[in-house]
Structure 1
Amino acid sequence: MKKYIILIIAFLFSALCLNVFAQTKQFPFEVLKTGNGNQSIIFIPGFASSGDVWNETRATFENQFTCYTLTMAGFAGRKPQPNASFENWKNGIASYIKENNIEKPILIGHSMGGGIALAIAADYPDLISKIVVVDALPCLAALSDPNFKSKMNNDCSSMVNQMTGMTNDQFYDMQKKTMPRLLADASKLDMVVDWSVKSDRTTFGQMYCDFYNIDLRERIAQIKCPTLILLESYFINLKPAIEDQYKNLKTANFQYATNGLHFIMYDDTAWYLEQLSTFLK
């Protein structure tokens, strides 16, 4: 009898431990879940952006889809986590999909979020049904340096030190000067700058450095699912170089915006939503 009591106690203790682990497991992002459609969409924002960048997009589709809108740890005022990296964030999203039994979601990612969507679809090809890449490239550095080679064990300490060493005013001024090159809609500028200013500087420097070292040009050959690539209007001038980066992605459908800059969802909204609606059908 004592033997059985000991076994029962051991079983209950194990169950308790598993339950506590499940409740305390951290993913490298916060999630806003809305809608209740049979098909799910996961929205991945870009570098230093809040999940709010998808507000208008989500409002358009959440009556048809279940939407999971992410904001990555350390960005836009969210609490940072240690070991921020492109690969850790990619694997974290894939784990979230598996552990929450999200059946074949659609991934929609902007900028760095688009790169993460490409990497998930490449490394977990059976996990995803479709992806939309909003103004992102498989290898950003190669656009200015055709001979670029990704570094193994890339040291980002210099970039982190540069970002953390700036005063608040210096960092704000840098973002204030940078954003008009990425966003034409002046009504959104203060909001997007604020997301950057509220981001953790260590995460900012680490992820900027890490993402610039990413080269997915070979990996994307593993992608099986339909892929919509939405690119800003200026990129039509660089079409051969851009589409050469994607040459291993056989499922790519390229569409170039007619107006605006990097934040296509704000700068060419009607065109952008039309492209998404057609693709998601």
Structure 2
Amino acid sequence: MKKYILIIALLFSVLCFNVFAQTKSYPFEVLKTGKGKQSILFIPGFASSGEVWNETKTAFEKDFTCYTFTMAGFAGVKPQLNPSFENWKTEIANYIQNNKIEKPIIIGHSMGGGLALALAADYPELIGKIVVVDALPCLAALSDPSFKSKENNNCSSTVNQMTAMNETQFYEMQKQTMPRLLQDATKLELVVGWSVKSDRTTFGQMYCDFYNTDLRNRIAQIKCPSLILLESYFINLKPIIDEQYKNLKTADFKYANKGLHFIMYDDTAWYLEQLNHFLKS
């Protein structure tokens, strides 16, 4: 009798494990496309949809398996409670391990670039290569090189500010902000629309949390090849950027010829040329 009870208990445990594995809720949605032995994970920037990578995927999914992320609470994806940069990093790593994705290439834009740096730093054996599209190890240090992250940073005032706006006010704020980040006017409404569809609490929380993130020391742990693509204006700040990235010994820096923060839209041909050379080398 004890033998049968033990077998039933073991079967129940296996069933529970399988159900958990199938229903695990990650703080992002993922679209898998393409076919190839090598995998690319595309992580969009702050309040952006995975659609920001559509043109990039078209160029590479014939040779690579592509996993395109949209983070919870951004661009219409259902939000999750208590979002944080560190939790998102950990859950992307869990997704890679649980799905047995071997040595993927991580391509991240803006906050997604920060996540690429953090993943490669904290899981150096997990990642094959990274491409950072217009992101810095510490955004706040761009204006204050002596910036120190706060422990238990309170983001409630930023969240309250964002949630207090009505839809018209928030739309107007984003419409005024976006031309500073995007030169291609044909993409303006698309990108603004992603922000407007984003959960306002997630928007405020993650803006505050990412601004408090400092990866300048952690990136010394990165072992994989790293391509850093930066917008054209940043060439004027090269000494400051070199200082921020000084601990990343595997980096190859490239500055775009034109355009702003959304390099994939503003200098598309140059951007795809850099990716082609780096991914296929």
Q: Which residue of 2 aligns with 1:181?
A: 180
Query: Cα offset for 1:243?
Result: 1.1
Distance 1:178 1:138 in 2: 22
Deviations 1:186-242 (A, max 9, x none): 000000000000000000000000000000000000000010000000000001101
Question: What stretches of structure 1 move > 3 A for 4+ residues in a row?
Answer: none
Q: Amino acid of the residue matched to residue 207 of structure 1?
A: M
Q: Which residue of 1 aligns with 2:232?
A: 233
CA RMSD of aligned residues (A): 0.6
Asked if 1:135 corresponds to 2:134, the answer is yes
Asked if 1:267 corresponds to 2:266, the answer is yes
Distance 1:241 1:4 in 2: 68
Asked if 1:23 corresponds to 2:22, the answer is yes
Query: Cα offset for 1:145?
Result: 1.0
5+ unaligned residues in a row in structure 2: which ranges? Answer: none
Query: Cα offset for 1:4?
Result: 2.1
Distance 1:93 1:102 in 2: 11
Query: Cα offset for 1:131?
Result: 0.2
Asked if 1:63 corresponds to 2:69, the answer is no
Greater Cα offset, 77-86 or 10-19: 10-19
Distance 1:65 1:24 in 2: 26
Say which SS state the counterpart of residue 160 (structure 2) adopts. Answer: helix
Distance 2:12 2:21 in 1: 14
Query: Cα offset for 1:157?
Result: 0.6
Distance 1:83 1:125 in 2: 26
Q: Which residue of 2 aligns with 1:9?
A: 8
Say which SS state the counterpart of residue 90 (structure 1) adopts. Answer: helix
Q: Amino acid of the residue matched to residue 238 of structure 1?
A: L
Distance 1:5 1:105 in 2: 44
Say which SS state the counterpart of residue 254 (structure 2) adopts. Answer: strand
Q: Which residue of 2 aligns with 1:202?
A: 201
Aligned-residue identity in percent: 79
1:70-149 paired onto structure 2 within 5 Å = 70-149=69-148
Distance 1:100 1:40 in 2: 12
Q: Which residue of 2 aligns with 1:255?
A: 254
Q: Amino acid of the residue matched to residue 37 of structure 2?
A: N
Distance 1:278 1:18 in 2: 42
Distance 1:51 1:276 in 2: 18
Asked if 1:53 corresponds to 2:18, the answer is no
5+ unaligned residues in a row in structure 1: which ranges? Answer: none
Deviations 1:231-268 (A, max 9, x none): 00000000110111000000110000001000000000
Distance 2:108 2:115 in 1: 7
Query: Cα offset for 1:146?
Result: 1.6
Say which SS state the counterpart of residue 227 (structure 2) adopts. Answer: strand
Distance 2:109 2:211 in 1: 15
Deviations 1:140-186 (A, max 9, x none): 00001122111111000110111111111110000000000000000
Distance 1:187 1:176 in 2: 13
Deviations 1:7-51 (A, max 9, x none): 222122112211221122111100000111000000000000000
Distance 1:212 1:71 in 2: 20
Q: Amino acid of the residue matched to residue 131 of structure 1?
A: I
Q: Amino acid of the residue matched to residue 215 of structure 1?
A: D
Distance 2:62 2:23 in 1: 31
